[in-house]
Amino acid sequence: MTDELLIKFLLKETSEEETTAIEKWLAADPANVSAFLELEKIWESSQLLAPKSPVNEELAWLSFKEKLNKKEKVGLLQHKSAVPDQNVVSLQRKYTWINVAAVFILALGAWVFYKVLTPAQYMDLAANQEVITQKLPDGSELTLNKKSALSYASDFKTDRSVRLDSGEVFFNVAPDKSHPFIIEVDQVSVKVVGTSFNVKHKNQQTEVIVETGIVKVSLKGETINLVAGERVLINSSSEKLLKERNQDQLYNYYRTRTFVLKNTPLWKFSEVLNQAYDVKITVDPAIKNLTLSTTLKLNETLDYNLGIICQTLNLTYSSKGKEILLTNKK
């Protein structure tokens, strides 16, 4: 369906056959309706942009016809004058359509200029001392860990872009092949259509872990595909993207309220405990690589979980306020 015919339809100048064709086209696909409504919006804007001529076009047209008639002869020439007159009417209509097209192009150009050069509006979303879950306008669901902040495009159904400033977020993305879901984290770009994955950005490090589907991660012109069970860790000095198998489900603790450990190094678990309980655990270098394979509950107190760790690995801990030291038993 051509834009010219649709504009003609908006001007109510289509024939019955053309009107029927347009109505069938609109009924054939909801996408056609969306395209038509967008065109109608642009056309209405173009009416506001159309220049107002100080000349009364109708009076000018009548004056032109009067001057033309004075030069025409009677008899046969008067009879022939009907043909030029029709040609002039046709010419007038032709130039009307040229004006319409010019105004439309001007409006379209202004609209594109506005879209490209006007900064997109973003909505802020943050979790402070509580984990929060939020649904976006496209149906995607986000779970933000404590002390996490991001922003998303206000026109999210057509511009599915997110900026993760800090923290950790689990994304369960609604499928939409025509509008990819894009997350920007510093120099890292994460692009998906519909899948679920975890993104953590802290201390100039970005970690992406995929739970379902495929995720594209880009850095400095390089792109890799991550599938379910794979992860990539990127820091400020990373030059290449190196993916690996994810070894545990610890990243999910803030959603499941459970610490699932599978040969997890003590130093790594202590970092998660720091975030979960808002403390500062220091692990003696001599024991930092000891591993744990167990399941603990976030709903339990930190003292209870530390007691289980110490009992399992034959360790002890001491605390002073929020500072905790884990060491070997003497």
> Model confidence over 26-57: pLDDT tens digits?
777 767 776 777 777 666 665 554 444 444 54
136: left (phi over 0), alpha (psi -120 to 50) or beta: beta
Answer yes or no: are the C-beta atoms of 162 and 183 closer than 8 Å.
Answer: yes
Residues 138 and 238 in one domain: yes
Total-model pTM: 0.63
Structure tokens, 166: 């800090």
Contact residues for 166 (Cβ-Cβ < 8 A; gap 6+) = 147, 148, 149, 201, 202
User: Domain end: 200, 220, 245, which one?
Assistant: 245
Q: Tell me, what's the pLDDT at 52?
A: 45
Residues 157 and 240 in one domain: yes
> Model confidence over 53-76: pLDDT tens digits?
444 545 554 554 555 455 554 444
Number of domains in the chain: 3
> Model confidence over 116-153: pLDDT tens digits?
555 568 999 999 999 999 999 999 999 999 999 999 99
Q: Tell me, what's the pLDDT at 113?
A: 60
Residues 165 and 180 in one domain: yes
User: Domain end: 215, 245, 275, which one?
Assistant: 245
Q: Tell me, what's the pLDDT at 41?
A: 67
Binned at pLDDT 50, 70 and 90, residue 91 comes out as very low
Distance CA(26)–CA(184), nearest Å, equals 37
Distance CA(234)–CA(188), nearest Å, equals 8
What is the span of the domain harbouring residue 30?
3-117
